[in-house]
Each structure stands twice: as C-alpha cells, then as structure tokens.
Amino acid sequence: MQLLASWFVADGKKGGADDPELLCHLLVSDLNCWLSANTCDEVLLGICSKWLLHQYHDVHKVIVVNVCLQSFKGLELPAVKVWAGLDDLAVYNENDVAVLVTLWCDGKTLAEVEKRELSSLLRLKQLSCSFLTFQLPKLGWFAAAYSNFSLLSLALMVDGGVKNLGGDFPAAWVAPARRGGLIDDANERCMITHGFLKSEVVGLVEKATQSGNVSGIYSPISYHGGFYWKLSLQLFMPSKMLGAFLIPASHGPLPVPQGVKATFLFSYQQEDGSCIIRGTGWRHWFKNKNGWGFR
C-alpha cells in the first residue's frame, strides 16, 4: 500500500495524476487508507480529490444509479469530507449534495463532532428554500450542528448571511454554488415518465368499482432536485373520473417533505403516439403526500 501511494505521489508531482486511466487504478479502499492516516500530504490529498471528482462528479447519477451509490457508501468519513468540500461537483442545486450525504449516513453511527464536521461543508445558501425549511431539520447528521433552524433558514433566505445571528458559522454555509455545471442530459432528468400496464389499469377499475371510493396505482419512485417523486393514476368513484397526479415520496432516510414548491406540467401519450399536454408551468406547493395533477 505504501509503495502504491509513493508511486501515485511521484507521478502526481510530474502532473500525470490527471490521467483518467491512471486514476482508475485507485480503489475506494486505497483512498480510505490514505485519508484515514494523518500522514496524507498535500500532493496525495490532491490526487485523492481528483479521484473523488472523477468517480463522483455527477451527483445526481451517484444518487440514482445503485452501483455508484454503493461505491460512494463504501467511502469512510475523511473521504466524504474531502468530496463534500469540492467546488467542481455537478449538481442541480445543493440539495443533491445534502441528499447524497444523507444516503451515505444511513445505517452509520456518527459522533456529534463528526456530524458537525459534515454539516460545516454543506452550502446552506445554495439549498432550495423548500429543502432548507422542511427537509434539513429532519436530517439527523445536520440536526446537531444548529438548534434554531427557523432563525437560521430565515437569515439565509432574507439576506443570504448568518453574521447577525452571532456565533461562529462555517464559511461553506454562505459559499457560492458549486461550479461543476449541469450534465448534458440534465433536461431529460427533469422528466418523470411511466407507462402503466393494461393489467394495472384493469385492476384499478375493479378495485375502485368494488370499493365505491377512490383507488390508485403508482409508478416507481424517481428523484430530482433533492426530492423523490412518483406518478399516480387514480379513479374516483362514483363519479368515474380518472386523474393523474405528481406526488412527493419518501425514500430510505429521506422523509416525505412537509412542503415543496415545484413547477411542472403533465403530458400523456394517445394511442396514435401524439402527446397531449395538460397545464404549462404549473407552480404549486406540495404538502406531505398530497399531489397535484388533473382529472
């Protein structure tokens, strides 16, 4: 292991550690070993940062692709702290970073000082107002960092600063947005699509008819912008009205948000392949599991 570290350091001093093929030789276990030791010098730390950026630059992808997520969850705290401090992460907004850290923390026992160390790296000013107000207080790894969430979120939303609150606050809390940019398919990631099977729709009709009340079927959960979502097709009885809805969802350690404001539109495909769009740029507050859509 020491020989491998020495080789990478020597190559890094020559500028060759930027080569993706060279970085691919590193393993998660290598980084955990190097960064957990107190002997990681500036050059080796730079190589670790480049590897973390190479592997986990696209934060949305790491969240939604299980093999990437499991790899990230294999990192130890020192590596996650280096990753969370990187400027060049590609995010939709800072919500993505908070969600991935939350997924990493799931199932782990962290000391209070470790929670504070992670909390100090989150760019609170770049969180969406919905996430800052309703989700952040529920994340156990951040909850230890600041007790008065209402005052903190108000200060960030009103003037973008926390200096007037008193106390010593981390610089990252009011830092600029990550500069990694958006991935090429960012627009496609905003689309949640699902095709319900004929058998599912038949079952929905039978269930609603028997119950005489509203019944629904649901799509798998999708992720976007710090929140999880699902589509629902619901049949209302006895009016026999069919509705389609977008609904906030929970996932693992991430609860259903008490409130989230989102802009969206619905479209559905007809038998001839043409699409019908219902609503353009609807902007609504979603509260708990209450969805919005059309009938």
| Residues 174 and 120 sit within 8 Å (Cβ to Cβ) | no
Amino acid occupying residue 147 = S
Share of the chain above pLDDT 70, in %: 71
Q: Each residue of 37-60: pLDDT tens digit?
A: 666 667 777 888 888 998 999 999
Q: Which residues does 55 contact at the CB level (< 8 Å), separation at least 6? A: 71, 72
Going by their DSSP bridges, the two strands 222-224 and 275-286 should be labelled as unpaired
Q: Cα dihedral angle (182, 183, 187, 192), rounded to 10 degrees? A: -110
- CB contact at 8 A, 162 and 169: yes
Average pLDDT score over residue span 257-284: 69
In a domain, 12, yes or no: no
Using an 8 Å Cβ cutoff, are 192 and 220 in contact?
Answer: no
Instruction: Give the count of beta carbons closer than 10 Å to the beta carbon of residue 38.
Output: 6
Domain boundaries, position 242: 190-294
Please state, rounded to an integer, the average pLDDT across all residues of the chain.
80
Please determine, for residue 136, whether its predicted confidence score (pLDDT) is greater than 70.
yes
Q: Number of structural domains, the chain?
A: 1
In a domain, residue 126? The reply is no
Instruction: Tell whether the model's pLDDT for residue 142 goes beyond 60.
Output: yes
Whether 218 and 231 have beta carbons less than 8 Å apart is answered as yes
Contact partners, residue 189, CB within 8 Å, separation at least 6: 60, 92, 183, 224
Q: What is the torsion angle, in degrees rounded to the nearest 10, for the CA atoms of residue 269, residue 273, residue 274 and residue 280?
A: 30
Whether 166 is covered by a domain: the verdict is no
pLDDT in tens, 227-251: 999 988 888 898 888 888 888 999 9
What pTM was computed for the model? 0.84
Give the pLDDT band of residue 148 (cuts 50, 70, 90): low
Q: Read off the pLDDT band of 82 (50, 70, 90).
A: very high
> Residue 240: which region, alpha, beta or left (left: phi > 0; alpha: psi -120 to 50)?
left
Whether 210 is in a domain gets the answer yes
218, amino acid identity: Y
| pLDDT given at position 261 | 79
Nearest of 4, 60, 71 to residue 34 by alpha carbon: 4
Three-state DSSP at 73 gives: helix
The answer to whether residue 283 is domain-embedded is yes
- Determine the Cα–Cα distance for residues 281 and 206; give it in Å rounded to an integer: 34
Is 234 contained in some domain? yes
